[in-house]
Amino acid sequence: MAEEKATFAGGCFWCMVHPFDQLPGVKRVVSGYTGGHTVNPTYEEVCSHTTGHREAVEITFDPEVTSYRELLEVFWRQIDPTDPDGQFFDRGSSYRTAIYYHSEDQRRAAEESRQALARSGRFSKPIVTEILPAQPFYPAEDYHQNFYVTHPDHYQRYRRASGRDEFIQRHWGGVPDAH
């Protein structure tokens, strides 16, 4: 059984786990940090916006069951790709969006999906989500892993208050997959 990795920065990593965790073929979704210059940073260091890292999720998946392109579709539907300064009420460089590609095929697929989204007219502002080569990924502290499962009430309150669900509903319709 083949395994690949996909890495996405979509603002608060708590909100990025569940949508991918529920997909067939996804084996693991880990919250963590990537894209910076500090080795094995802590949450506090990343939140200080001095390490260069972004909160991200690293997804291990079976591409025979769920394709990378399908993961990209899920990613775009979780974020505001037009916000250069963070996501929803989380502001700063550690909350900026990015797709970190692990292969040339992933880079091409990410570029094509970003171009298609830009051409769709769904957003009135330009798409600013970066597409970058994968860098070392550092898992976040244990208390951040599977937060939607371990702290469901806190997670739901955070999602609602952040404005993420309202944004997703306004731009994509339906009820966000926020469980």
Burial classification of residue 16, based on how many CB atoms lie within 10 Å of its CB (0-12 exposed, 13-18 middle, 19 or more buried): buried
pLDDT at 176: 57
Task: Kindly report, residue by residue over 123-163, the tens digit of the pLDDT.
Answer: 999 999 999 999 999 999 999 999 999 999 999 999 999 99
Rounded distance between C-alpha atoms, residue 16 and residue 143, angstroms: 15
Residue 1 has pLDDT above 80, yes or no: no
Average pLDDT over residues 79-104: 96
Domains present along the chain, CATH in parentheses: 4-172 (3.30.1060.10)
Q: Is 12 a catalytic residue?
A: yes
Question: Which one is catalytic: 9, 12, 30, 56?
Answer: 12
Question: pLDDT-derived band of residue 177, with 50, 70 and 90 as boundaries?
Answer: low
